[in-house]
Amino acid sequence: MIQAFYTGLSGMQSSSSGIDIVSDNLANANTNGFRASSYEFASLFEDALVTADSSTNSSVGAGSRLQSTPMTEASGSYSLTNRSTDLAISGDGWFGVQGIGEPEYTRDGAFGFDSNSDLVTADGYHVLGTMGSNIEGDVLTTTLDSVSLNDIGTQETLNFPQSLTYPTEATTVATFNGNLGTEDEVQTMSAGVIDSQSVENELQLTYTKAQLQPETGSIWDVVAVTKSLDDQTIYDTQTGSVTFDETGALVFNTLPTIDNNGSPVTIDLGTNYDGIVSLSNGEVYSSSSSNGTKGGDLAGYDVNQDGEVIATFTNGMQSSVGKVAVYHFQNNQGLDRISGTRFSESSNSGKAIFYQDADGQNITGSNITNHQLETSNVDMTNGLTELIVLQRSYDANSKSITTADEMIQKAIEM
């Protein structure tokens, strides 16, 4: 009878612990990235019974205890947001944040840029990843489509300058295409060219049929002029000629390089039928293109679906400047829970790893979607059902204590 007290008490404690776990899960049903906990009970030591029948192994249990609270690994649902810095991992993986001394891991991708333009969590922890190494001071040195993840031990906090300049890239080549026709009419073509001061100017070509023409084919004199867009300033003038064969294909060009306010520009008219032609049976037209980019100032940072941190500039250009890391573990269940959304590695989970592609390059290994957040993986229906079961268990164990008390009272009265 006395053992019934302790057995019932242990059952009440186990049920109470289960209720605490389920209640915490339900309380965090709307917490982004929350990982629910389940519960596992184990029986206490049993007392062996000495019986006359030695072939029967009999014993009486001494109650139960809470053995472990394993993490529920199922993914939560995904909700749309209006911020590109909100990220969600589809599949296995964890975001890394810089904790106190050691990295911590989370599925909560509610990230944003703080006042220093550092990528941080909602509660101020710095997000870990790889910087692009294409920023020197306040200047972008190289335009990158993507950034490769460095080794796992060299991941760093993603810190970005508040002021960043996209440098001017002066035009070096202007390419022209078109058909001059065969009639003795003046034809003009133009292209925009950017000088070293980030100013867009105009390169204009004027074609006039030469007075002396060969027996076959044709020759056109060309005057190239670089000038400001308002026609107020002429920077350079160069002359040359282009020669076409009897089929209209370009075979010779003497037009030299032209100066664009201190920046030399090569004029590419092509060769044969690749560029400028002189055809009688085609429409007269012209088109042009040129390299070079105006300078620009930072408009803002965004994070795309590959985890790339993208810098956007006022000149319309973009470049990756960093990448958010996605960590993996051999045993997610072995992670130590710091809170409902953050975990740390342990000897049971193993060291954090990166997945690699066929070329041995580190990759995220899971799809990342922006403008989305992973919500809690708590199953509300199952949780409410578990509360009912645990409550009934608590009541039943309480009843066993009451029954044992009544039996002892009767024994005393006897």
pLDDT by residue for the chain (414 residues), tens digit each? 577 778 888 889 999 999 999 999 999 999 999 999 999 888 887 666 566 655 556 767 778 888 888 898 889 999 999 988 999 999 899 999 998 888 999 999 999 988 888 999 998 999 999 999 999 989 999 999 999 999 998 999 999 998 999 999 999 999 999 999 999 999 999 999 999 999 999 999 999 999 999 999 999 999 999 999 999 999 999 999 999 999 999 999 999 999 999 999 999 999 999 999 999 888 999 999 999 999 999 998 988 888 899 999 999 999 999 999 999 999 999 999 998 899 999 999 999 999 998 988 998 888 899 899 999 999 999 999 999 999 999 999 888 888 887 888 888 888
Q: How many helices (H) and strands (E) does the chain have?
A: 2, 36
Same domain, 280 and 187: yes
Per the domain annotation, does 168 fall within a domain? no
Q: Which of 290, 312, 342 marks a domain boundary?
A: 290
Pair (282, 341) in one structural domain: no
- Please give the C-alpha separations between residue 167 and each of 135, 138, 177, in angstroms, as whole numbers: 11, 10, 29
Strand order in the sheet with 326-327: 326-327, 94-98, 103-106, 342-344, 336-337
Q: 23: phi > 0 → left, psi -120 to 50 → alpha, else beta; which?
A: alpha
Letter for the amino acid at 393? Answer: S
For residue 247, give the CATH number of its domain. 2.60.98
Is the pTM higher than 0.85? The answer reads no
DSSP β-ladder status, 78-80 and 250-253: unpaired
Residues 108 and 190 in one domain: no
Position 300 in a domain: no
185 and 258: one domain? yes
Domain final position from 290, 314, 337: 290
Residues recorded for the chain: 414
Distance CA 175, CA 168 (A): 20
- Distance between CA 6 and CA 2 in Å, rounded? 7
Is residue 207 in some structural domain?
Answer: yes
The verdict on residue 100 lying in a domain is yes
Torsional sign, CA 344, 338, 126, 112: positive
Count of structural domains, the chain: 3
The answer to whether residues 157 and 200 belong to one domain is: no
| CA pair distance 90, 75, nearest whole angstrom | 8
Q: 185 with 282, same domain?
A: yes
Give bridge partners of residue 157 from the DSSP assignment: 128
- Examine residue 42 and state whether it is found in any structural domain, yes or no: yes
178 and 256 in a single domain? The answer is yes
The domain of 179 spans 173-290
Q: Is residue 301 part of a domain?
A: no
Which residues pair with residue 207 across a beta bridge? 187, 222
Q: Are residues 355 and 271 in the same domain?
A: no
Read off the DSSP letter of residue 50: -
Structural domain includes residue 66: yes
Q: Is residue 199 part of a domain?
A: yes
Half-sphere exposure of 155 (CA within 13 A, CB side): 23
User: Do 51 and 91 belong together in one domain?
Assistant: no
Contacts of 329 (CB under 8 A, 6+ apart): 94, 335, 345, 349, 350, 351, 352, 353
Regarding whether 120 and 65 lie in a shared domain, the answer is: no
Quick one: 193 and 214 in the same domain? yes
Mark whether 83 and 155 lie in a shared domain: yes
Q: Residue 263: count other Cβ atoms within 10 Å of its Cβ.
A: 20
